[in-house]
Structure 1
Amino acid sequence: MNSQWRIPESALIVIYDDAGQVLVLQRNDDPLFWQSVTGTREVDETPCQTAQREVFEETGIDIAALHYQLIDCKKTNLYEIRPRWRHRYPPDAAVNTEYVFALQVAVAQNIELTEHSAFLWLDKNQAMDKVWSPSNKEAIMLFVPDQPAMLNFVSDT
């Protein structure tokens, strides 16, 4: 595959906090497009590795360093690649395979934006209304618990 093209596979990571607030991000290239963390799989990466990398790149959250647990939702979506983004993929690629993950973080988790213009913490219903893609809405509905359990951290001391 030509190295200039993206692999038509991605990870979608729904991030929510102990209070059940869902993180949504506003795209730089489309101010009406809000989403969870998402990104394309790179060569030699597993979907889980893609999810961990994308969470760090887009939010600054280092899952391993903070002792968070990335949850593989065992859900895969297929969707048509938006026509405005199709030039990024090989000519025969029209469908993307999306692997869904969830991540619970502490309330007031620091977010460092690098690829988005804004972020919001919204309740589950507001987040489902705000995000653009149907697969993102479904992931929030299915994988954000109505009452998240409080995180237990293991002390390194």
Structure 2
Amino acid sequence: MRAPFQVLVLPYRMTGSIIEYAILKRADLHYWQGIAGGGEGEETPLEAARREVFEETGLTESCKLVMLDSITSLPVEHVVGEFLWGEEVYVIKEYSFGVDVSDFELQLSKEHTDLKWVCYEEAFRELKWDSNRTALWELHKRLTRMREKGDIGHEQPISNY
């Protein structure tokens, strides 16, 4: 059963001193976004994020997720098309993560027709949803500060949301 929340995961990689972000083009609606999907059953947002990353890019559990503070509310009708969780549930939360894919090759699922690696500015322009842009802004600020401090590669593992 579909859980009443969404996850968003933004893949990134370090290329020398440049941070690049992968954006994915949806096969059905033809717009650019991060990895996105809903929770299933009793999954936590972290578990759902790991599963969605695997389903949409083939990355395994070993990928390093960075939990973001960005959480947004989405209208249920925009996510699942109906009041799936009852007439009193109008919005669900979307939890955001980054995923370091510097050492991995991404393999697209049938959900997406294209993937491109872009700089922050281009990703910000191309992403369709405000929630994706807000999470991207936060991730970029965090990674930029970590790089300035020399902490890139030392991200703490995620425990729970």
* TM class by smaller structure: 0.7 to 0.9
Where does the alignment leave 5 or more consecutive residues of structure 1 unmatched? 153-157
TM-score, length of structure 1 as denominator length: 0.80
Please give the secondary structure, in 2, of the residue aligned with 1:52: helix
Please report how far the alpha carbon of residue 146 of structure 1 lies from its aligned counterpart in structure 2 after TM superposition.
3.5
Please report how far the alpha carbon of residue 103 of structure 1 lies from its aligned counterpart in structure 2 after TM superposition.
1.1
Q: Deviations over 1:86-125 (max 9, x none)?
A: 1383452431210111111216x31111121111111011
Where does residue 25 of structure 1 map in the other structure?
24
Where does the alignment leave 5 or more consecutive residues of structure 2 unmatched? 155-161
Tell me how far apart the structure 2 counterparts of residues 8 and 86 of structure 1 sit (CA, whole Å): 13
Specify the code of the residue in structure 1 equivalent to 2:99: L
Please report how far the alpha carbon of residue 48 of structure 1 lies from its aligned counterpart in structure 2 after TM superposition.
0.3
Tell me how far apart the structure 2 counterparts of residues 84 and 25 of structure 1 sit (CA, whole Å): 18
Specify the code of the residue in structure 1 equivalent to 2:14: D
Contact 1:58 1:112 in 2 (8 A): yes
Where does residue 136 of structure 2 map in the other structure?
140
Specify the code of the residue in structure 2 equivalent to 1:9: F
* Identical residues among aligned pairs (%): 26
The structure in which a higher percent of residues are helix is 2
- Return the match for 1:80 from 57, 75, 80: 75
Q: Using a 3 Å threshold, how does the CA distance of structure 1 residues 8 and 23 change in structure 2: closer, same or farther?
A: same
- Return the match for 1:44 from 33, 42, 45: 42
Number of aligned residues: 143
The structure in which a higher percent of residues are strand is 2
Please report how far the alpha carbon of residue 134 of structure 1 lies from its aligned counterpart in structure 2 after TM superposition.
0.2
